[in-house]
Amino acid sequence: MRANRIMAGLCVLMGMACGDDGGSGPPPGDPPVVTSLSTTSAAPGETITITGSNFAATAGENTVTFANPLSATKATSVTATQITVVVDQDATDGPVTVTTPGGSDTSSESLTVTRGVGDVFVFSGTGANHKLGLPNPTASTKYLVIPHSVNSAAPFTTSYGYSLKTTSAVPAAAPANATSRAPESSAPITHVEANQWFESRRWDDAKRVVDHYGVPRESDARRTPNESATAPAVTKQFYVLKTTTGDQDLASSYSRITATLRYTGTKCLVYADNDTLTGSLAGGNFTQAHFNLFGSTYDNSIEATNVTYFGPYSDVDGNGKLIMLISPVVNRLQEPDCGGADCTCGFIAGFFNPRDLYGTPPVTSGTTNHAEIIYLLAADPNGVWDCQFPVDATAAENLGTIPHEHQHLTSFSWRIFHEGGTVQATWLEEGMAHMAEDLNGDNSSNIGRGKLYRQDPGAISLEDNQAPLEQRGGIYLMLRLLADRYGTDILKDILQSKCTGRACIQNATGLPFYDAMAEFLAAQYLSGTGITADARFNYDSIDINDFGPLLVGNHLAGAGDVNGSVRRASGDFHIFTGLLNEDSVFQFDDPTGNVKLRNVIVRIQ
């Protein structure tokens, strides 16, 4: 760079015409001129011809925009005087603009984009200069409008206001209904699970482990086909995390317990804390049948299912088996603000501790078991250790926890041994684990979380890295839709990669994250309604109606402003009923400038 500047200076001093040795290429040429359109009415997907001059010689260098900025698309073919182009799915009424390396020009004619019931498009642009007219051919015409935020820089916990203004040539007679907010937790969840604070802290600690201790050698993963190992110890000591707030790098944050082997399988070992096997609880706890159920379900179903969909996992201790450890230490883990035996504020339903895949050294002695372990709840029907945990309900809880936590183990082990140690974003990591529940035939918890999400989708970001229940319901539903459309191989693509968060969705689907999110939001209303058969907006594997009603505001176009608020990667739902033979004209406002508002729009009637 410094040499180029010196040469340029010498050329100026000597009055010479020097070329640029940086390889900038020929000049871009004259700006294009648009003289006419082959038609003034077309539907998305149809091909039109644009006549003019000075078009770029290569089709891909000619970009055509159909009013809506999101409708920019490349020409399919070009001659010296004509461009052919397919009308983009996000095209809206208005003039057509052609952009080349030489500049831009806009047609004097306007193209009317014809749409029918079920056509979906996304509109961007806010304020009076970006108004959108939508025809109302019948008195019962209805449009679904889903404003959503695509500001990736906005905090996921902050809500930003927006306004939808509609006008009509005929004054409306009734006021619009204001968008209401449903209580965020008005529907109880019957399936108790790990609270969001602990989950977020767990993955933060996983990042700290990788940052502090580095990435283990790939050879340390050890797992090889048909590996044989010595007989497992009948009695074994383990270190079990006993605090949700303590420093996980300190041995004082762990209980040292002794456990007895209760099941030996082909792919797993089940150990039970000796505290659950002696004394007054010996007859009121899990029986051998329960231990056999946990082990055989993993051996015969869960392990193969998870490996099929997510890939292989490590074997750092060389025993060829996953360890499931049942201990009341897990029962006692509670949210940070819980006191005593207060069972109403939640508990940890089981977990995988990422540091268990590290040995001693480098990890502090007393903080790792250097084995693949999933920690599970002990039954405690009388609440001797803490809250009451009925035997059968706790057994069912553990069966749901095993595939979830095994997915976490698979994800972390693959990434530290094969992908340089990049830990997945919490929100996507939890969504992937909930997909593991689904794929193993247990969707009861996903339905409960999905119901919470659909009660108010604008109040929770899909990228909420605290991963509360509502967010988990939303990201599960998004992954389920993407897996239906692109196939379940995308799950392995997401897990076996160095990417995190939004980039993983884009890499696996080829769609920018917020485009995929827009399609997901539309599917929340459209799936199963028969309004559109487009696979982008319909689930194959689930009935969205099982996930409860969707919060939707109903309004009369032209009756007044509709105000609401959304968070990053969230969306509100509104239905506007039009007036007979009068266009509804929408103006979308972003008063704070922080929403980066886009709107999914569908004529639904």
DSSP secondary structure string for all residues of 343-382: -TT-B--EE--GGGGS-TTTSPTTS--SS-EEEEPPPBTT
Rounded to the nearest 5 percent, the helix, strand and coil shares of the chain are: 30, 25, 45
| Main-chain dihedrals φ then ψ at residue 134, nearest 5 degrees | -125, 125
Name the domain count of the chain.
2
Length of the chain: 605
pLDDT score, position 382: 85
Average pLDDT over residues 8-37: 60
Residue 308, number of CB atoms within 10 A of its CB: 12
User: How confident is the model at residue 342, as a pLDDT?
Assistant: 52
115: left (phi over 0), alpha (psi -120 to 50) or beta: beta
Between CA 225 and CA 223 the distance in angstroms is 7
- Nearest-angstrom CA–CA distance, 419 and 541: 31
| Under 8 Å between Cβ of 203 and 429 | yes
| Residue 4 clears pLDDT 70, i.e. is over it | no
Which DSSP state fits 519? H
- The enclosing H or E element of 306 equals helix 303-310
Q: What is the pLDDT of residue 176?
A: 43
The last residue of one of the domains, among 383, 404, 424, is 383
Mean pLDDT of 528-543: 97
What is the average pLDDT across 203-230?
80
Question: Residue 91 sits in a domain of what CATH number?
Answer: 2.60.40.10
pLDDT at 281: 57
pLDDT of the residue at 195 = 56
> What is the reported pLDDT for 245?
85
pLDDT tens-digit series, residues 294-309:
999 999 999 999 999 9
Tokens of 580: 């007979």
pLDDT single digits (tens) 308-354: 999 999 999 999 999 999 999 999 987 555 545 555 556 788 999 99
State the DSSP H helix or E strand holding residue 235, giving kind and residue range, or none if neither: strand 235-241
pLDDT number for residue 229 = 63
On whether residue 76 sits in a domain, the answer given is: yes
DSSP string, 103-117: EEEEEEEEEEE---T
pLDDT at 484 exceeding the cut of 70: yes
Q: What is the rounded CA–CA span in Å between residue 17 and residue 62?
A: 32
Is the pLDDT at 72 greater than 50, yes or no? Answer: yes
- The answer to whether residues 238 and 108 belong to one domain is no
Q: Which of 162, 120, 117 is nearest to 568 (CA)?
A: 162
Of the CA atoms within 13 Å of residue 121, those in its CB half-sphere come to 28
**Residue 396 pLDDT:** 96
Q: Enter the tokens of residue 321.
A: 């088996």
Percent of the chain with pLDDT over 70: 86
Position 199 scores a pLDDT of 74
The pLDDT value given to residue 181? 35
Please state, as a whole number, how many other Cβ atoms lie within 10 Å of the Cβ of residue 311.
17
- CA 363/CA 248 separation, integer angstroms: 10
**Over 80: is that where the pLDDT of 355 sits?**
yes
Residue 331 belongs to a domain: yes
Residues 400 and 445 sit within 8 Å (Cβ to Cβ): yes
SS (H, E, C) 24-44: CCCCCCCCCEEEEECCCEECC
β-bridge partners, 598: 124, 148
Q: In angstroms, how far is CA 215 from the centroid of its own chain?
A: 26
Which of 329, 352, 383 delimits the end of a domain?
383
Which residues form the domain of 78?
33-113
Percentage of residues in the chain having pLDDT higher than 90: 76
Whether residue 577 contacts residue 142, with contact meaning beta carbons closer than 8 Å, is answered with yes
pLDDT at 337: 52
φ and ψ at 371, to 5 degrees? -165, 160
Please identify which residue in the block is written with the tokens 């895949």. 357
Q: CB of 354 within 8 A of CB of 412?
A: yes
pTM of the predicted model as reported, rounded to 2 decimal places: 0.88
Least Cα distance to 482 among 543, 521, 536 occurs for 536
Going by their DSSP bridges, the two strands 373-376 and 322-326 should be labelled as: parallel
Asked if 83 and 62 touch (Cβ cutoff 8 Å), the reply is yes
Upper half-sphere CA count for residue 595 (Cβ side, 13 Å) = 28
Query: How many other C-beta atoms are found inside a 10 Å radius of the C-beta of residue 554?
Result: 13
Cα 485 to Cα 132: distance, rounded to the nearest angstrom? 30
Taking the C-alpha atoms of residue 223 and residue 372, their distance in angstroms, rounded to an integer, is: 11
Is residue 534 assigned to a domain?
no
Which residues are 53's β-sheet partners?
33
Residues ≥6 apart with Cβ < 8 Å to 177: 553, 554, 555
Question: Mean pLDDT over all residues of the chain?
Answer: 88
Q: Quote the tokens at residue 115.
A: 């749409």
Residues 377 and 238 in one domain: yes
Beta carbons within 10 angstroms of residue 171's beta carbon: 9
> Long-range contact list for 230-238, CB < 8 A, 24+ apart?
230/319, 232/261, 232/264, 232/269, 232/319, 232/321, 233/261, 234/260, 234/261, 235/259, 235/260, 235/261, 236/261, 236/271, 238/271, 238/325, 238/327, 238/369, 238/373
Last residue of a domain, one of 383, 409, 436: 383
Average pLDDT over every residue of 38-45: 96
Alpha carbons 284 and 379: distance in angstroms, whole number: 8
**Average pLDDT over every residue of 184-201:** 48
Q: Is residue 79 part of a domain?
A: yes
Residues 238 and 377 placed together within one structural domain of the fold: yes
| Of the listed ranges 37-46, 333-342, 386-395, the one predicted with least confidence | 333-342
Q: What pLDDT, on a 0 to 100 scale, did the predictor assign at position 283?
A: 62
Q: How far is CA 519 from the centre of its chain?
A: 12
pLDDT tops 60 at residue 186: no
Cα first-last separation, the chain: 61
Q: How many Å apart are CA 603 and CA 605, to the nearest integer?
A: 6
Confidence check: pLDDT of 63 > 70: yes
pLDDT surpassing 50 at residue 39: yes
- Estimate to the nearest angstrom the gap between the alpha carbon of 8 and the chain centroid: 51
For the purposes of burial, counting CB atoms within 10 Å of the CB of 350, is it exposed (0-12), middle (13-18) or buried (19 or more)? buried
507 and 143 Cβ atoms separated by less than 8 Å:
no
The least confident of 152-166, 206-220, 473-487 is 206-220
Average pLDDT over residues 584-603: 94
pLDDT tier for residue 545 given thresholds of 50, 70 and 90: very high
Whether residue 408 has pLDDT greater than 90: yes
Which has more pLDDT, 44 or 387? 44
> Using CA atoms in the order 340, 342, 345, 351, what is the torsion angle rounded to 10 degrees?
60
Look at residue 30 and tell me whether its pLDDT is greater than 90.
yes
